[in-house]
Amino acid sequence: MRWLALLPWAALTAHTAVNALLLRRPAATATTERVAVLLPVRDEAGRVGPCVESLLAQTGVPGLTIHVLDDGSTDGTAEVVRSVAGDKVRLHTGAPLPPGWLGKPHACQQLADAAGDADVLSFVDADVVLEPAAIASAVTELRRARAGLLSPYPRITGAGRLVQPLLQWSWLTFLPVRLMESSPRPSLAAAGGQWLVVDAPAYRRAGGHAAVRTEILEDIALARAVKRSGGRIALADASRLATCRMYDSWRELTAGYAKSLWASFGTRSGAAAVVVSLLLLYGVPPLAAAALAAAGESEWAAIALTAYALGVGGRVVAARATGGRAWPDALTHPVSIVLFARLVARSFRLHARGGLTWRGRPV
């Protein structure tokens, strides 16, 4: 009967495996739809070149237009775009940020307004590099899913191997992915703003980025707005189609996470409940196994060790399903959870002090 204590870990790891099997994976194809690729940039001179080059190399989309909006850059980002693309992209200068708007929603709304009569809007961040068939494949998957918004999640590279994979792992472990697609509940939504593919009429019905103008997590807020307006959303593994180098150092990562983690939970109590649950489920078992073994409780020590192994197994499944690195990273899953807990606490602390900024703007 003692081994029944492992049911929570076994159920969560099994859920991860089921989600991994059901996760959408866009395949290489072509589309005849008019697609506008929309790239907002602010001080991205060191990253935007490879992104634009990959956009220019897209195949299978004869109706493709590329719009780049320079949102007040001071590092020569616009000059880099011009040097790479010449007149092959439409380079826009961003308008001053109006009261009541955050920077990225405002930039995305301007780009959407400039997209004209496009059938599909593909929002891409400057740290994303796409394979040649990526846009066509994602648009086809959007239609196959009968969705208003598709979030094709890229393979994440760069700093933060202990923390970054937790996002994909958390979706696969705790979110019923296919139920999320079919459910009309806005609260049951997930999306990654690095790359979003949106049906243009569905975007307009949802109110566009104007409807999420004050949201730090504008990607999830937009997905919820699409649901509220009667649309569907879908997630897809795009690790074979896109890479995203979000952060180059631990310092950049902590700043980026501090900006947004507080907004992920709604309240301090909600954040505390989630963090404590994660620590109990995935941080405590290896410590408990060692302590119980030292105390001579061999069976309980084996149970705790098995709980740790199930957690590691879930990380391996998530990594294999999303193009991540499984070994030896999965073995440090408890460390990842502890680091995540510290980042959550730091984000709430800085938010309470009013000390959060991003790209020179207050959050």
From 226, 247, 268, give the residue that closes a domain. 247
Domain containing 165 equals: 32-247
Confidence (pLDDT) at 196: 98
Number of domains, the chain: 2
Q: Place 110 in a pLDDT band, splitting at 50, 70 and 90.
A: very high
Tell me if 24 is assigned to some domain: no
Let me know whether 47 and 166 are in one domain: yes
Give every strand in the sheet of 155-158, ordered side by side.
128-130, 242-247, 155-158
Confidence (pLDDT) at 307: 98
Report how far apart, in Å, the C-alpha atoms of 71 and of each of 91, 102, 222 are.
11, 12, 20
Helix (H) or strand (E) holding 173, with range, is helix 166-174
Let me know whether 236 and 312 are in one domain: no
Confidence (pLDDT) at 361: 66
Alpha carbons 288 and 323: distance in angstroms, whole number:
31
Q: What is the largest CA-CA distance in the chain?
A: 73
Confidence (pLDDT) at 266: 77
List residues bridging with 155 in a β-sheet.
243
Torsion-angle region of residue 235: left (phi > 0), alpha (psi -120 to 50) or beta?
A: beta
Tell me the mean pLDDT in the region 320-327.
Answer: 90
CATH number at residue 112: 3.90.550.10
Per-residue pLDDT reduced to its tens digit, 248-271: 888 889 988 988 898 888 789 999
Please tell me whether the overall predicted TM-score, pTM, comes out greater than 0.85 for this model: yes
- Our CA angle for 102, 103, 105, nearest 5°, is 75
Per-residue pLDDT reduced to its tens digit, 200-242: 999 999 999 999 999 999 999 999 999 999 999 999 999 999 9
Whether the predicted pLDDT of 360 surpasses 70: no
From 200, 232, 247, give the residue that closes a domain. 247
Tell me if 232 is assigned to some domain: yes
Tell me the mean pLDDT in the region 309-336.
Answer: 94
Closest residue by Cα to residue 42 from 14, 69, 13, 64 = 69
Let me know whether 239 and 345 are in one domain: no
Let me know whether 91 and 170 are in one domain: yes
Mean pLDDT of the chain: 94
From 224, 247, 270, give the residue that closes a domain. 247
